[in-house]
Structure 1
Amino acid sequence: MNTMTQSEALSIAEMAIYPLILLALIFVLVRHGTSKQSGFIYLATFCVIRIVGAGFGIAAGLNPNNISDVIWSTVLGSIGLFSILGATLGLLKRIVDQTSLREPRSLGEKNPVVTFLTYIPIIGLLVRVIMKRSTAVSRRSRFIQVLQLPGTAGLVLCIIGAVDQTSANVSNQKQGKVLLKAGVLVFLAIYLCLVALTAKSATDFNRIPAGEKRILVVILVALPLLAVRFTWTLLAYFSSFHTFQIYGGSVIVRIWMATLEELLIVIAFTVIGLMTPKYAYKDANGDETEGFKGQDSLGEIQLQEANWSYQPREARR
């Protein structure tokens, strides 16, 4: 009887853990909806990816000669990065949207002197620029949404690269490695943008609704974990160190630098999804808005639907 390898043990552990998290996420999705903007649909997708990847890992242990099982098991790890990034971006967008609602509509609405200054040439232009802070936050929200496009492109690159690597053609295998590396670099660029956007949002901490501040805290905790996860991925794809090799590398190192970080992030986001009230918003076309109803889970704030209906700044004037 063959002895179970560390890789097989890891796959079995993932097969046991992620279905349980997926069940909790189904409850979260029922509560928050399946909109991509909520971020939680990405977490559910990540769990499915990890379950499928674990299945390939177990199959690879039972049939070591089938290289395609090994390839798909490891490559799905890179594809999973897209889901974690998507979930983090969705939660950050929620915070940014609500921060924009908390900002003053306009300095001129409160001060007639400032209103008068806006009509003076040059000085008026400077005043209007200063008064557009809330508009800048709204643009940040749209930029977060746009980041999903390159993320999708990176996902496509990884999938095509994985398919090419399972080919018997050596040329296709080399092309597959290039595409996988390109996909990882796209994910890295999105992560760096995510760090910058989160840092900017942290400066608005005092204006974030009390019930939503904990989401920002969780994101701030998740970013260093993602940094470690990306470090392992970059070393695995771009270095020649045997320890970090995708195929045959150290399973222990992968657990401490990749698997554990992913698990902690998913659990943290799932818990925050269970604790946080539903948030609906208006999209770019102004369709459907439904704010918070009732108190949040900690009883910190009472938010009425009418108060949280989003309107463009121009419309509010």
Structure 2
Amino acid sequence: MSQVTYRDGVAILQLIFFVAYLGCALLLCMKHGFRRSSGWVILITFSLLRVIGASFQLATIHYPSRSVYGGALICDAIGISPLTVLNLGLLARVNRFVPRKMNQKLFGILSIASLVAVSLGIHGGTKVAQSSNPFKPNSEVKAAVCIFTAIYVIAVGIFLMLLNQRSTIPGPEMRLLYCFAACAPFVVVRLAYALIADFSGDKKFNAFSGNTTIYLCMSALMEIIAVAFCVVTGLTLRKLPAEFAQDQQRSVEEGKVRQTSHSYPVEQQ
């Protein structure tokens, strides 16, 4: 009879937290809007990937097939994308309140780059699952991780540029920068784990056959903590009036940098 392993226990932990985060993500989207520009839709994607990935891992208890492990591998690999894009979304909202805005095209380009990396991760993960060694990452998976890392490095640069204009950012919106800063150590460790796992050849860093404690501390817990910061921040943020969203949408569509003419909304008593 198959037994529940330490690694399966980590999957159960992920399942518990990310099912809860999925519910929070739906609440955030209902509060801030389901528009892609609201940024919180990506949290739904991330939570679903982690729930599905954990489910694949638990399925290996009774069905330890190559395809099931392949599904878990793909979900683990491409799940870094929404994590980085989620943090990028925090900055995209702050960007609407500074006088020297980043061109909205940059955020669009980074999102497209993330989709390219996701495609590479899916294709590479599928090939790995069909190979003789389903736990050894190939060039596509490695390229995907490199793209995710590059996106986050650029996001850190954007954060520093926005931080330099912090005196012009409304107080309530500053918590987005605080959130990004709070998430940074955990996201960096998570990316470091992925890079070490894919490039070092050290079997201890394999997400499925390696050291489970390392995976728990450098991957699973890092994601859980980072998303917790984002969820708490999102739930405490005020919903912006429709004119803010419309102004941003026009900026994205036209590729222009607009100055938001509307004052920051004052909370009604």
Shorter-normalised TM-score: what interval?
0.7 to 0.9
Equivalent residue in structure 2 for 1:143, among 93, 106, 126: 106
Query: Contact 1:54–1:73 (CA<8 Å) still a contact in 2?
Result: yes
User: How far apart in 2 are the matches of 1:36 and 1:249?
Assistant: 37
Equivalent residue in structure 2 for 1:166, among 126, 129, 139: 129
Structure 1: state its 5+ residue gaps: 101-133, 300-317
Q: State the Cα distance separating 1:262 from its structure 2 match.
A: 0.5
- Corresponding letter in the other structure for 1:240: G
Q: State the Cα distance separating 1:175 from its structure 2 match.
A: 11
Instruction: Indicate the SS of the match to 1:147.
Output: helix
For 1:125-204, list aligned pairs within 5 A.
Answer: 134=100, 137-139=101-103, 141-167=104-130, 177-204=138-165
Instruction: Indicate the SS of the match to 1:295.
Output: coil
User: How far apart in 2 are the matches of 1:246 and 1:18?
Assistant: 18
User: How far apart in 1 are the matches of 2:15 and 2:185?
Assistant: 26
For 1:134-283, list aligned pairs within 5 A.
Answer: 134=100, 137-139=101-103, 141-167=104-130, 177-279=138-240, 280-281=244-245, 282=247, 283=249
Higher relative contact order (CA 8 A, sep 6+): 2
Deviations 1:92-111 (A, max 9, x none): 011011113xxxxxxxxxxx
User: How far apart in 2 are the matches of 1:41 and 1:231?
Assistant: 26
Q: How many residues align?
A: 257
Structure 2: state its 5+ residue gaps: 255-259
Query: Contact 1:160–1:176 (CA<8 Å) still a contact in 2?
Result: no
Q: State the Cα distance separating 1:192 from its structure 2 match.
A: 0.9
User: How far apart in 2 are the matches of 1:176 and 1:9?
Assistant: 24
User: How far apart in 2 are the matches of 1:79 and 1:194?
Assistant: 18
Q: State the Cα distance separating 1:294 from its structure 2 match.
A: 4.2
User: How far apart in 2 are the matches of 1:291 and 1:34?
Assistant: 23
- Corresponding letter in the other structure for 1:295: E
- Paired-residue identity, %: 23
Query: Contact 1:39–1:88 (CA<8 Å) still a contact in 2?
Result: no
Q: State the Cα distance separating 1:293 from its structure 2 match.
A: 4.7
Q: TM-score, normalised by structure 1?
A: 0.75
Query: Contact 2:7–2:208 (CA<8 Å) still a contact in 1?
Result: no
User: How far apart in 1 are the matches of 2:161 and 2:59?
Assistant: 45
Q: State the Cα distance separating 1:275 from its structure 2 match.
A: 0.5
